[in-house]
Each structure stands twice: as C-alpha cells, then as structure tokens.
Chain A
Amino acid sequence: MSGLILGPLVAAALAFTFPKRGRGMAWAAAGVVGIAVLSLIRAVLGGGVQSHRVSGWGAPLGIDLRADGLAVLLLALTALIAVAVTGYAAPYLRAADSPEARHRERYFWPLLLFLWTALNALFLSRDLFNLYVALELLGFAAVALVALEGKGDALRAALRYLFVSLSASLFYLLGVALVYGQCATVDLALVAERAPRGPALTVALALMTGGLIAKAALFPLHFWLPPAHANAPAPVSALLSALVVKGAFYLLLRLWFEALPVFHTPAAARLFGMLGAAAILWGSINALTQSRLKLLIAYSTVAQLGYLFLVFPLMTGRDGRFGAWCGGLLLLGAHACAKTAMFLVAGNILRAAGHDRIRELAGIAQVLPVSAFALGLAGVSLVGLPPSGGFAGKWLLLSAGLREGQWWVAAVILVGSLLAAAYIMRVMTRAFAPAVPGTWVRPVPPIMEGTALALALVAVGMGLAGSWFVELLWLGGPWP
C-alpha cells in the first residue's frame, strides 16, 4: 500500500533530478502503481477493508493507511487517468522543439508524478492532518501545472487558484485544530467514536466543509475553476477536471459520513443539494454561452460537480442511501473519464487548428474522425444516455430521489441532462459541418486521438460494469 505513495514520489524525485528521463519515470511509476492497485483491489474484494501501519507505528501517533471500496475505486480511477495522460502528454509536449517546450516538458513529468502521489496519499490517509498535507501537496502540484504554460492568462489563473486553494486549506486546518481540541485525536475512526456533541465540533465541521467546497468548486465558489482549467495545457486540464476537484469531494464524503456522521443535519444536506442543483443549471447555462471549446468543457465540469453534491440530501433518508452513494460515485467515475477524453480532444483540436473557437471549428469529423467520435461518446456519457456510466449514475440518483420522495432532485437531473445535450450538440453540429479549407493546419499523432477515444469508451462502457462498482462500494462504506 505504501508503494502507491512511494512509487510515484520516488519517480517524481528522480524525474526532477534527471530531466531527460521524465517520461520513463512516469511509465515506471505507472507500472508500480498499476500492479499495486490491482493487487489491492483483489485484496479488498477478497478480504474486505485493508489497512497498513506505516513503519509499524499505529494511530494515534503513527500514520495509518486504509483502503476500503471507495478508496480503491478512486485509486484505480486515478491510475487509469494518469496512465492515459502519460501516454497523451509525450507527443503533446514535444509539439515544438523550442526552449519553452523543453522547459515545459522538464517540469511536467515531476509535477504530474507529485500530483499522483498526493492523490494516492489523499485516498489512503486516515487522519485529518495527513489529509491536510495531502490536500496541500495536491494543490501545489495542480497550481504549478496550471502555471506551466507560462503565459499571462495561465499565470494569473494559477495565482488565483493558489490563493483559493491556500485559504481553503487554512479553513480546513482551523477545523482540524478544533477537532483535535475536542477529541484529542485526528484519526477518522477515533474521531467518530469520541466526538462529543456540542457547538465546537459543529463549527469545526462547518469550517472544514466551507474550505472543501471552495476546493471542490461548488457553485457559487466555482469562480476559479474555468480560467484555471481552460488556460492549462490540455493534459493538465484533464487531470484537474477529472481528479483534483474530486479529491476535495472525496474528503467531504469522508468527513460527513465517516468522521462526523452524527453532526450533519438534513437541512445542511439540503443546502448542499440546492447548491449542487444551482451548479448544474448555472454551469450548463454558462457552458452554452462560451465561445471557446475549453471554457465550455470547464463550465461543464462546474455543472457535473453539481450532480455529486446531490448525493448529500439523498443520503439523509433510509431507502435511497446506498443507491445515491453508488450513483454519485458512478457519476464521478464516468465524468472523470468522459471529461478527460473531452479535454484531450480539445487539445487535439488546438493542435490541429491552432485555436479552439467553437464557431470556426467546422469539419472536425472530417479531419479528426477519431477525435470527433471520442467527443461524441464522451458527450453521450455526460448527457447520461445508456449504456454509459453517466446513465447508470443518473439512473441510480433518479431512483434514489423518487424513492425518497425528493422529486426536485429528479427534476434537476433531467433539466441538467437536456442542457448538457444542448451544449454537446452545439459542438457536434459544428463538428459535422463541412470543413473550411485552411482551418486545419497541423496533423495530430494517432496516439493523441487514440487515448481520448479509449477513455471515452471506458466512460460509455462503465454503465455495464455498474454491478462491479456497487459491489466494491459496499465494502467499508458508511452502512451499518
């Protein structure tokens, strides 16, 4: 289990020291993590929740790592996306042999590996303070990756992202301090056991939650996301949209349902649901008005994150609990794959056309048929058409909503689907229009198109593996 953290960490250090070996290090880390994740999945499916005490020290003083179904699922998802991005980034970064390009490539690999380390640490950590450290590492790597482009817009977006990320982390850390003051521990399980009811922990939960929703870009604190995600290089945008924002969401799930489950109230959960609903509508409407493809995709992320927060109000009841949990996480996985595919396609389009202005993108289907197909498939999953993971997730959320009698959730999901269809169609009708001569100037290497397609296929096929998801998520989840 510690290989999952040490593997990419060592690779990152080596990639930084030996810049020419960056890509090799990424593949080596991918190999190590891949094997570790697969064996961990087997262990969890076979023997339930797995834990590991780092160097033999246990909680409360030492560091405990713990892998339940949820953690394993996210580790696997991270590995999948990181591998795809690794495959894609090599030709992407070598587009031009300029000093800037070499500089970019020199720092991309170590940062990618640091990001991966931070994510794995986040998913495996079991105490609030370690989670803080992992969250900060994640934020640093993400900010540096956004700044990699080195242009004014990217730097400004990165700086804004850093400010939000740091202040959000401090909110979270203040909450951790209050929790420690009350429980004299930061271990998730021990906190859940000891937590005394009272205003101090209520404020602590509010502080931590308040920080995390900014990191998860929940409406109306999504303001930093579109510029950061749209101005980063395509593989970085993919990582950010697919994984980094999900890290904060994951931590919220742990806090609300594992560490302090007795503290959340239906009213607060409903607030989350309403903000999520507002995010779906506002993000989709903004996506409809964008003139640049990458901004459209970034706003679509804002909308899709909203769906995840619909899980909270549905988790307050009895009947829909497990369905909502599974539905939300299936949506998370499907969105990660679909959104990565979309950003990679956007990268291909940028490469081929030199810009991503939607109005001038006629003929993608003719020039880049594989990319256009990948975009369409990813769109199928975002809209929630079967058999995609997006469909399975929305189906589960819808049934949970109807079972709980919370019809407004169902209505929001459906309106969101229609809006998603509208903004996807905006791009797709353009894609099928006849190409204008002179629009498409540069060829795109097949591997860049292939990785996008592979991820889109995973997103669409994920619905078929829904039962496997459900089985895995049952293990170690917040059920009696």
Chain B
Amino acid sequence: MPDADPRLYLLAGLALFAIGFYSLVVQTHLLRRIMALNVMGSGVFLAFLALALKAAAPMPDPVPHAMVLTGIVVAVCATGLALALADRVQALEANEETPAPEEPPSAETGSEPEDAG
C-alpha cells in the first residue's frame, strides 16, 4: 500500500499506544496488563515505521526498521520477564489461598508493605 498516507499509520500507532496505556491502567489481571504493554509497544513500532515512510525518499528509511527490530527483541525479553514474575506471584497467591482465582488481587493492593501504616 505505497499510496496510503503514512500519517494514517502514525495515527494508528498512537491509537494503539493509547489503548494499551488505558488497559494497563484499568485492567487488574496480570496477563492482560502484560498484553496491554505489548499493545503499547506495537503502537510505538508502528509509529516508527510510519515515520520511516514519511521521509520524502522513494525507499523507506532503513534505520527505523533496525530500531524496531531491536525494540522487538527488547519487548520479547520484557514480556518474558513479566510473565515469569506474574507466574511466581500467582503461584504464591494460590499457595496463600487468596479468594477469587479468576481475578487475582491486583498489584497495588498486593504490594502494600505489611506495616506501612
């Protein structure tokens, strides 16, 4: 689709970013929040690609593509780390027999230090 306006991709990227951020803040399920982060990341990558097109050259600029590749590697690592941590948290909470396995307690109530007050 060489004829499509690259600004459309940029806007789509920003929209994805916004949707991702919204879900990150609103969702309580850990897996969903990790997904939300990935959506945010995809939005950023899309923005990169759109901006690569924007340069008034016949071929898209290759540098943003390289950056996106690096970014994807970083994102995969991040997702892996987050999944591992989330798994450990859920395993611990299952052991502690907290109610409602469907909706595990969100991090913000969970990480209250024991006697912060």
Contacts and interface: CB of A to CB of B under 8 A. Distances in A.
A115 to B, nearest CB: 14
A186 to B, nearest CB: 8
Contacts, number: 111
Given A133-B70, A155-B92, A167-B37, A177 B47 contact: yes
A157 B33 CA distance: 15
Contact of B107 (A160, A176, A290): A160
A147 B88 CA distance: 10
B89 A61 contact: no
Contacts of A163: 24, 33, 37, 82, 107
Nearest to B41: A170
B81 interface: yes
B38 to A, nearest CB: 10
A174 B47 contact: yes
B64 A180 contact: yes
A153 interface: yes
Interface size class of B (residues with CB under 8 A): 35 or more
Nearest to B93: A152
B20 to A, nearest CB: 8
Contacts of A157: 111
A118 B92 CA distance: 30
A357 B114 CA distance: 11
Nearest to A157: B111
Contacts of B111: 153, 156-157, 159-160, 227, 231
A178 B7 CA distance: 12
Given A155-B92, A292-B115, A295-B113, A166 B82 contact: yes
Contacts of A143: 81, 85
A290 B116 contact: yes
B88 A155 contact: yes
Interface in B1-54: 14, 17, 20-21, 24, 30, 33, 37, 40-41, 43-44, 47-48, 51, 54
Contact of B113 (A129, A136, A140, A153): A153
Interface of A: 60-61, 129, 132-133, 136, 140, 143-144, 147, 150, 152-153, 155-160, 162-163, 166-167, 170, 173-174, 176-178, 180-181, 184, 226-227, 230-231, 290-292, 295, 357
Given A156-B89, A180-B51, 20 more contacts: A140-B78, A140-B81, A153-B113, A157-B111, A158-B85, A159-B86, A159-B111, A160-B108, A167-B24, A167-B37, A170-B37, A170-B41, A176-B67, A177-B64, A178-B51, A184-B55, A290-B116, A292-B115, A292-B116, A295-B113
